[in-house]
């Protein structure tokens, strides 16, 4: 998204990706790849070939993709807004949302300048509530709420 490539197919993970806890840019950037059914597909809009360089950090449990291109390539001007957590109120940056154990919706907006025009695209992620986590609320006799998270 940040490189200005045309993402044509992207599926987020089914449940909130817990490995994003503490990620400085927040959650909502993930893409699921599960051959042969689910894939992440992008189209090169440049006049030059580009290559993806993938790097896995097993300690941080992250996969980073860098787009490499020849030096004569001028990258498209691209700006990103988000990712934001959508929860019925104001949009909250997911980097500030913290721990989410319920179902969640996020959005990232990409602005790319192509031939003098700005193209705007939104990338939505819909996460279901993880069936391995539940929250129970109870009120004590003093009217205080207590949450049990398992």
pLDDT band at 74 (very low <50, low <70, confident <90, very high): confident
Which residues, other chains included, contact 126 with Cβ-Cβ below 8 Å and sequence gap of 6+?
A: 12, 103, 104, 105
Q: Which residue has the tokens 């992008």?
A: 42
pLDDT at position 61 over 90: no
pLDDT band at 134 (very low <50, low <70, confident <90, very high): low
Domain parsing of the chain, residue ranges: 6-149
């Amino acid at each position: 998204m940040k490189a200005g490539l045309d993402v044509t197919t992207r599926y987020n993970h089914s449940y909130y990706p817990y490995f994003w806890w503490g990620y400085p840019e927040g959650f909502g950037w993930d893409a699921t790849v599960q051959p042969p059914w689910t894939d992440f597909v992008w189209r090169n809009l440049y006049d030059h070939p580009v290559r993806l360089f993938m790097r896995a950090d097993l300690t941080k449990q992250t996969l980073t993709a860098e787009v490499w291109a020849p030096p004569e390539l001028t990258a498209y001007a691209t700006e990103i807004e988000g990712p934001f957590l959508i929860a019925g109120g104001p949009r909250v940056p997911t980097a500030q949302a913290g721990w989410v154990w319920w179902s969640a919706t996020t959005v990232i907006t990409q602005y790319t300048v192509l031939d003098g025009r700005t193209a705007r695209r939104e990338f939505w992620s819909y996460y279901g509530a993880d069936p391995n986590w539940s929250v129970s609320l109870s009120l004590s006799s003093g009217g205080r709420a207590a949450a049990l998270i398992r």
